[in-house]
Structure formats: structure tokens, C-alpha cells
Amino acid sequence: MMVHTMHRESPDKGLDSGKYVRYTPEQVEALERVYTECPKPSSLRRQQLIRECPILSNIEPKQIKVWFQNRRCREKQRKEAARLQTVNRKLNAMNKLLMEENDRLQKQVSHLVYENGHMKHQLHTASGTTTDNSCESVVVSGQQHQQQNSNHPQHLQRDANNPAGLLSIAEEALAEFLSKATGTAVDWVQMIGMKPGPDSIGIVSISRNCSGIAARACGLVSLEPMKVAEILKDRQSWLRDCRCVDTLSVIPAGNGGTIELIYTQMYAPTILAAARDFWTLRYSTCLEDGSYVVCERSLTSTTGGPNGPPSSSFVRAEMRPSGFLIRPCDGGGSIVHIVDHVDLDAWSVPEVMRPLYESSKILAQKMTVAALRHVRQIAQETSGEVQYGGGRQPAVLRTFSQKLCRGFNDAVNGFVDDGWSPLGSNDGAEDISVMINLSPGKFGGPSHYGSSFLPSFGSGVLCAKASMLLENVPSAVLVRFLREHRSEWADYGVDAYAAASLRASPFAVPCARAGGFPSNQVILPLAQTVEHEEFLEVVRLEGHAYSPEDMGLARDMYLLQLCSGVDENVVGGCAQLVFAPIDESFADDAPLLPSGFRVIPLEHKSTPNGASANRTLDLASALEGSTRQGSEADTNGCNFRSVVTIAFQFTFDNHTRDNVASMARQYVRSIVGSIQRVALAIAPRPGSSISPVSAPTSPEALTLVRWISRSYRVHTGADLFGSDSQTSGDTLLRQLWNHTDAILCCSLKTNASPVFTFANQTGLDMLETTLVALQDIMLDKTLDESGRKALCSEFPKIMQQGYAHLPAGVCASSMGRLVSYEQATVWKVLEDDESNHCLAFMFVNWSFV
């Protein structure tokens, strides 16, 4: 019989190593039951346990306490051992993967050395040879002609009704795919920032000097090979740009594999380029080493095989041999190799948009890495490593994300077969395009928008959309700003109208007001992916009414929001902010009508001369004059562009269609203007010739500047602008606005967190914000811990003496970037009647870390 022992504790010397307490199996079972319910029982609970269990009556409470301590220690050791075993398996598999990658690179080096030597030999031979090679060229030409003629019958055998011909195409595609996945068929270059490791996404590479664009990724996942294959074959579940995948034919192969003829439609990422489609053969089979492989390639006149379905709204793209190789890993899990190699026919799009279709980095982020991340996400959800809030299952939250993306893509593309048709403009403006859909039942269907998509508006859906080109504005920074400072661009009245489609009694169509309604937002996180590149959240917009006619705005509103691509370190990543109004119940089958923004980086250019005159361009005019802009536009050393796509959807009924269309055009046009202002605020400024944002000229601003200047002189005895400062209001305002140091005003409240109320141009640059969004920034979120402590210690001095100097420190901008400063001066701003108005801060010699 197994006996359980533990040390007996001595009253004088602690644990006596020479004496043991022997527990019977019944005693251990009773203690284990209690441990399962409460691993750390209190002293009263241990005494109660002894009273309730007669078999423990001979055990002292102190001994029971030590047993629970040891039991917790064993549990901790067991978990740590299991974790280390998992890490060890990952490291072994990653080591195997890196060794294979090293072997591949060595083969590639040997091949390049051989080619280099062969080329040198040819050059040396050609320089010393004067023989006429015309006969040899004729022979070579004849051989090539013979080879072409010999290949021709092979393509003739690849008939749609001939499985043997399709199997021949499949075997060729398999061989080419394997040579890309594990061989040297493509010159792979590792992507920047993608370092291998046990917790990394894997090894990610892109092609160099390759026909078309290609990307490759290999990594570890804790799922079995067949499960991984099942997940990756469901392309719509992980590829957000995939509209539909139709399997038109399934043919069993003679070797136990499967051949499928597949037609795939892809969304266009912007409104100014046509969508793409693929007609491919997909081959799935098991290899001799136990690996499972799925390869795919386009069927063309060159490869042979049946013709694909015609499509008038799509541009036929070509998929070169691509796919995924899944190998079982020792100890469980799989090693996955993914290759994507496509030709997207970049010449069919305007020149300014071609980088979007010629970038292997964008392909890697949108397809290759997205597939591997999705598999890793499901693996961690299956193992219980991912925790979600709100009581929702991971599959439900993923469905919400997919519905948001698909609804936004449907709005951007506006396919005719979904029921979309253009609505003519009455004001002659072509910068905003408006489309309507009069068949909401067909549009999206219940799987995308819910069975009761239009509870109150029965006529249809209207979408207003636009595109614009930004220069020197990081896409991640812009989307993060739009998310965190909604009041900078959104109109509360328009939001309320959009939310009214979920209620039975909507109110009238509003006018998009220039300033909109300022509103407070509270972001409630729901879920995020493992690497935090995408997160789903609920946004609560606090309701309020300013007049009796605005009582319809008094209730809170809720948005389901998806934000992705806000990591500035990701190369080639697309940033996106998509949201849809929801009601308080937020059911799993809630109808969604998404709107939002998509920002895609296009290119990096080196330009030798001065600075670009504008941070934003009208994309339509850029398309008309792309050749002219190529020689004139980019002038400041390193210039990068991003294309911004904006789409907003609204419901309407028969008698409000024209009013909704007018409101939507005006609203999207105002959003375009807001993004232009935001771009000017957050774009890098050093060396640019951009004229700064004009200073506010309201009477309140003039009065505040006069109070700031006078209070500084009263408290410190010095003049804020030097001895030659002018006393007129306009001059003081101009001097403060253009001051070289960052000057900010902060509310002086005892019952609420102080927020910034005013800043000069340099202060806005330091906080990376605008005057409107400034009021959303709190002081305690800007200063670091040492800065807050210094301000608290000096606060009594500020209130008594009127000012104080804070030492050098670090603060944070609204974008999260660290800012260092040499000194900060804080003084009390007094009104004309000597009452306290606010605190003023001046940060001297600041710079981004």
C-alpha cells in the first residue's frame, strides 16, 4: 500500500526532519476533496474540517496547514513542469525548422556561387571567341521549336473530362509548390521584424526578383495536421478579402488524394480598383513521410484544363503554385509551411495604386501571415489559453469580426449582383460616390446582417464612400487617432440617426453640422487576437440633449467596433477601423450595418529635394495626373503614401431617400476634411514647409492668452514673450501660438481628473493632437509617475506662491509616444477678478524619445 508522508512540525525547532506523519488513503482523499474546493483554506476552515471528518481527528491543525502548503507547492511544480515540457517541445521543433532553413540557405548560397562561377567562365570564353555562332543559334532555335511542339500534345491531353490530365497538372503544381516551400525555387528574403522564436508567429519571408509577388511563412501550431488543413481550406474564415469560394467539381485522384476545381472571388481593398477572381485547381494528398499537403494553381490556356466561369465585374488574377505543407511534430502539434504566389495584374489599375498590387509585403500580411495567425488563434482557444469577456464564446466573437469586415467590404465594392446601383449626384460633386441597395433581403443575407435587417426602414440601404491619398502619415497612427478621438470627426446626430434603424420609431434625418455634437465615448473591450494585432470592442456613446428638439439624442448609443493594424512596427500592414450600431441587448444574431475607415500604405520613395507642400491629395486628381505628380510631388527625402477608403452606410425609406443621400454626402465630405486636418496634426513636421494650423481668434481665446501672459508676469516677475512683447490681444495670441516651447492649459478641479483645455501649436505637436481632441486628454495620463509625484509635491507651492519649476522628465503623447523635456514651469492663471481659472504648463526643449 502506498503511504503518504509529510514532516511533523516541532514546537521549538520548526520542522523536525526525523519525524513523519503518515496519511492513510482515506485521509488523503478527504484532504483532496477540500483542496479541489478551496486550495488555501483559512484556519477556521481547517478546524471545521477536523471536526467534520473523524478520520482526521488525530491530525493537528498545524499539520493540516503544512499539508495544504505542500499540496499547493506540488501543484505549482506540476504546472511548471508541464509548461517547461511544452516550451521544450516548441524549442525542439523550432530548432528543427531553423536547421532546415539553414540547409536551404546553404543550398541557395552554393547555387549562387556555382552560377557566379559559370557566368564568369562564359564571360571569359565570350571575350576570347570570335567564331560565328549563327549555326549554333539555328540549332538551338530548332531545339526550342521541337520542345514546344513536343509539349503541345501534353497540353491537349489535359482535357476537362480527362482526370489523368488534371492529375498531371496537379502533380506538376505539387512539385513546384514543394520546391518553393522547402527548396530554392524562389529567392526568399526574411521580412524585417519577423524573428523566429517559441512564441513568435514563425519565419516569414518574401520574394525578391520573382515573377509576380510571393510570400512564405513557416511556424508551429499545437493542432494535428488534419485539423490544420481543415481550418486553412476554409479560406473565408481567415482571409478577410475573400468574398466567396465555390467548389465546382471534386475528382478523386488515383493515389488517394483529391482534386478540386475552385472559383474564388476577392474583394477590392479600395473603391478605385476592380475586384479580382481566381480559377484554380486544388490538390490535396498525403506524402510518404506522413505530411499532408494542399497545393493550388490557376488553370490557364498555358497549363491546360477546363475554362473557368466568366465574370464581368472582376479581373482574372493568376495563382502560381501555392498552398500549405503540414508535417506532424514529435510530441504533438504540427509544423506548417505556407506559400502564396500570385500575379494580380497590376497593370490594370491606375499607376498610383500599383504598389498595392506589386508588394510582397502586403501579400504576406494580408494572406500568408493571416492564415498562420488564424491557426495559432484557434489552437490557443482550443487549449483554453485565451480568455474572453462578456460571456461570449470565441467562435461567436470571430463571427462578429467577420460580419463587420464582410459588411464593410460589401459597401466598398458595391457589387451589382448584391443589388447595388449608383445614385446620381444633384450637386454636381463627384468626390463622394453614393450607391443604394433596394433589395436588403438579397444584400448580405441573414448570415451577414441578421434575419431582421431592417426592423423599421423597409426600402433599402444607402452607402456614401470616398478615397483620398495621404503623404507622410503612418496608417497605424491615423487609425489609432480616429479610434481614440472620435469627437474630432464624428457627428453625434448622424450617429443617432444610424442607431435609429434598430428602433421602431426613428427620428428625422439630421443635417451634418460643421462641429457636430461633442460626445464622450467609453470603450469596453470584448476580445483581441493573440498578438494584439486586432481587437473587438463595444463603444458606448453617452447621450445628451442641448435643446427640447434634441431629446432624441438623450439616450446612450452603442457601437460594435473592430480595430486592426495599429502596430507601427508591422511592415506592409493594413490599418482598419470598422463599426456598426447595436442595441443594448446585443444578441448573437444582431443585424450589423458597418461603416468605417481603411488605411493601406502604398510605397516608400526617396526624393532629394525639399518638403511636400501638402499632406493630403485628392485621389481622383492623383489618378488623372499620376505621371505629373511622379515628377513633382515627392520632395522631402523619404516620402511614403497611404490610400484611405471611407464608407458609411445608412438605412432609408421611400420618402427620405433624397434627404439621407444629401446628409450622407455632406457627412462624408466633412469627414474627409477632418482627416485632412488630423493628417496635418500628426504628420512628421521636421523639415516640412507646411503652414501651421491657424490660431483660434475667438474673444475667449484672446482673453485666455491675456490672462496667461499677465499671470506669468505677476508670479515670476518675467515676461513670457521677452522684453519686446506687444500688449495688443491679436499680437499676444500670435506670439503664444507660435512660441517655441509647448504651452498648455489644464483645468483646475478638485472633484475630477484635470484635462487639457488649450494648447499652442507646439503643445499640439507634442501631444500629437488637435484643439478639439485636446479636451479628451487627461493630465495624469500624460505625465509619468515621477512627473505626477513632482507636481503633487509642488502643488501647495503653486497655489501659494503662484508658480513652480518641475525637473526634467518624460511624458506621453496622445499616440503613446514618449516625450522628454528639460524643464517644466507651472503657474496659476488668474482671471481679472484674481480668481483661479486654470493651470498653465510650459515644457522647455522637448523632443520625442
Is the pTM above the cut of 0.75? no
Residue 599 bridge partners (DSSP):
575, 644
Confidence of residue 98 (pLDDT cuts 50, 70, 90): confident
> Given a cut of 70, is residue 237 above it in pLDDT?
yes
Q: Which residues pair with 242 in a beta bridge?
A: 266
What CATH number is given to the structural domain containing 497?
A: 3.30.530
210 and 263 both lie in a single domain = yes
Residues 30 and 167 in one domain: no
Do residue 665 and residue 793 come from a single domain? no
Host domain of residue 477: 387-424+431-440+457-503+522-544+555-604+640-684
Kindly state whether residues 362 and 305 are assigned to the same domain.
yes
When pLDDT is cut at 50, 70 and 90, the band that residue 764 belongs to is confident
Q: Is residue 274 a contact partner of residue 242, using CB atoms and an 8 Å limit? A: no
Q: CATH number, domain at 373?
A: 3.30.530.20
For the stretch 659-702, pLDDT in tens is 999 999 999 999 998 998 888 877 765 444 334 455 666 777 88
For 778, phi and psi rounded to 5 degrees?
Answer: -95, 150
Q: Are residues 488 and 379 in the same domain?
A: no
Q: Is residue 9 part of a domain?
A: no
CA dihedral (193, 196, 202, 207) positive or negative: positive
Per-residue confidence (pLDDT) for residue 176, from 0 to 100: 94
pLDDT at 13: 39
Q: Can you give the CATH number for the domain in which 817 is found?
A: 3.30.450.20
395 and 361 assigned to the same domain: no
**Domain termination site, one of 75, 100, 134:** 75
Would residue 178 count as lying in a domain?
A: yes
Whether 514 maps to a domain, the answer reads no
| 246 lies in the same domain as 369 | yes
- Long-range (24+ apart) CB contacts under 8 A made by 196-199 are 196/94, 196/97, 196/98, 197/94, 198/87, 198/90, 198/91, 198/94, 199/90
The pLDDT, as a whole number, for residue 491 is 85
| Residue 782 shares a structural domain with residue 803 | yes
* Domain membership flag for residue 767: yes
Same domain, 763 and 663: no
Backbone phi, psi, residue 132, to 5°: -75, 120
Q: What is the pLDDT of residue 544?
A: 57
Residue 84 lies inside a defined structural domain of this protein: no
Q: Does 630 score more than 60 pLDDT?
A: no
DSSP 292: E
Task: Tell me if 240 is assigned to some domain.
Answer: yes
Residue written as grid cell 506662491:
801
Mean pLDDT of the chain: 78
Do residues 312 and 420 both lie within one domain? no
Q: Are residues 356 and 377 in the same domain?
A: yes
Question: In the chain, how many domains are there?
Answer: 4
